[in-house]
Chains A and B, each alone.
Chain A
Amino acid sequence: MHISEGILSGPVLIGGWALTAAGLGLGLRRLKEEDVPKSAVLASAFFVASLVHVPIGPSSAHMLLIGLTGLFLGWVSFPVMFVGLLLQAILFQYGGVVVLGVNTMIMALPAVLVHYLFRSVALSKSPWLKGIGRFLSGAFGVGLSAGMCSLSLVLTREGFWTTSKLIFIAHIPVMVLEGLLTVFVVGYLERIRPELVRKIGVEGL
């Protein structure tokens, strides 16, 4: 969910930048050399994902890939999403450069949370638990992100409360789709590159 330029208030923007800066620091420190190609691929997928529209009634939302990025990258989601969003702002004029701090945070923070909450479940031996874990990663990622987006809007102006509720409801179908997508993509990767998926549970990420 990109918030456009010129909507949020000063304090919210500054808060967003502060959290994103912290996240970037933590993410870059944990970025290992062998993870760079994987991060670049996920950054590209994230970059292109917002062009994939999911119709919801009269409007639509777009794929976010928060769960997927979070599971594989953890804190590195911050630099990856930051670069993706920055390029989207510069090349597509999606979102904006001033609001980049908030936009990064509302996507990357859920990704990090999803990583720590679901990485063990996503790797469990039981196929059912595995599937549920991966589904929840995708769904939770989007849900948390929509929640943070709503929070940013409401903190700017009380009148945004109805808008925020609408945003959250509009994202419920996206939550389901992302959950399914996460299940399939991780499952597919598990078959062709199992070592990639095994690394999800690696400590210190």
Chain B
Amino acid sequence: MKKKTFLFLFILGLFLCSKEGICHRVNVYAVLNGDTVEGEGGFGKGRPCISCEVIISDGEGNELKRDKTDQEGKFKVQVPQEALPKVRKVILEAGPGHRGEWEVVATTPSAEGAKESSQSMPPERGLYTEVAANIQESSLRKIVREEVRNALSPLAHELVALRESGPGITEIIGGIGYIFGIAGVILYLRSTKKR
């Protein structure tokens, strides 16, 4: 009886003492803001990937820029101007044999696009107040961009959290169910062979 309890406690202890864990699936999320690729990487359930390799790639295996994540698993990688239009993917390498990928979507127009639009609109005269005339289109765009980014940020975190949620009880029960199902099929096939 004592040994049984000891074994049970031993296994329970193993379950409980896992504070940090590598889930064998490292998740990365990133967004292209102007000329910087910003994002974060982690192992699911609030476990950040610290000092992990971040690789900005063009999607065809060519490396555009390399950096590392900080103590919170976040990164901000500045991409040189020439490489900007080629940015397609972010790859995170988290140590022994683990990597994750994310396809990068630009949330802002490229640097050249922003420059063009600020030159195209001259300030209005006449009825519009000086205040309105002073707000140039480029500053307006910058403000809107920042506000939208701030509004989207919590949503993006929710998305990543959803994507990152590790195996739940559903998957475990499902997996075990499949195992016994397969066992049942094997037994059935073996029994029909006998007949």
Say yes or no for A111: interface residue by CB 8 A criterion. no
CA distance A24 to B19 in the complex (A): 36
A62-89 vs B, CB cutoff 8 Å, 1 = contact: the mask equals 1100000000000000000001100110
Given the interface pairs A167-B96, A170-B96, the reply to whether A92 lies near B176 with Cβ below 8 Å is: no
A63 contacts B14, CB within 8 Å? Answer: yes
B14-54 vs A, CB cutoff 8 Å, 1 = contact: the mask equals 11011111111110000000000000000000000010000
B174 contacts A187, CB within 8 Å? Answer: no
Query: Which residues does B use to contact A, with CB under 8 Å?
Result: 3-4, 6-7, 10-11, 14-15, 17-26, 50, 95-99, 101, 166-167, 171-172, 174-176, 178-180, 182-183, 186-187, 190-191
How close is A72's CB to chain B, nearest CB, in angstroms? Answer: 15
Given the interface pairs A87-B178, A92-B25, A93-B25, the reply to whether A4 lies near B18 with Cβ below 8 Å is: no
Given the interface pairs A59-B95, A177-B14, the reply to whether A53 lies near B179 with Cβ below 8 Å is: no
Q: Which of A1-58 contact B (CB under 8 A)?
A: 1-4, 6-7, 31, 33, 36-37, 39-40, 43-44, 47-48, 50-55, 58
Closest to A86 in B: B178
B21 contacts A44, CB within 8 Å? Answer: no
Question: Which of A4, A39, A149 interacts with B24 by CB under 8 Å?
Answer: A4
A44 contacts B97, CB within 8 Å? Answer: no
A33 contacts B172, CB within 8 Å? Answer: no
Say yes or no for A128: interface residue by CB 8 A criterion. no
A92 contacts B171, CB within 8 Å? Answer: yes
A/B interface sample: 20 pairs, CB < 8 A? A2-B97, A4-B97, A4-B98, A4-B99, A36-B186, A40-B183, A48-B176, A58-B20, A59-B20, A59-B22, A60-B18, A63-B14, A87-B178, A93-B25, A94-B23, A95-B24, A167-B96, A184-B7, A188-B3, A188-B4
Question: Which of B18, B50, B175, B191 interacts with A47 by CB under 8 Å?
Answer: B175
Say yes or no for A202: interface residue by CB 8 A criterion. no
Q: Which residues of A contact B19 (CB under 8 A)?
A: 55
Closest to A162 in B: B96
Closest to A63 in B: B14
Q: Which of A153-198 contact B (CB under 8 A)?
A: 153, 163-164, 166-167, 170, 177, 180-181, 184-185, 187-188, 191
Majority secondary structure, A binding face: helix
Q: Which residues of B contact A50 (CB under 8 A)?
A: 24
Q: Which residues of A contact B24 (CB under 8 A)?
A: 2, 4, 50, 62, 92, 94-95
Most buried by B among A33, A50, A54, A60: A60
- Apart from A39-B183, A52-B11, A92-B25, what are 15 other A-B pairs with CB-CB below 8 Å? A2-B24, A4-B97, A4-B98, A36-B183, A36-B187, A36-B190, A40-B183, A44-B179, A48-B175, A48-B176, A52-B14, A62-B24, A177-B14, A184-B3, A191-B3
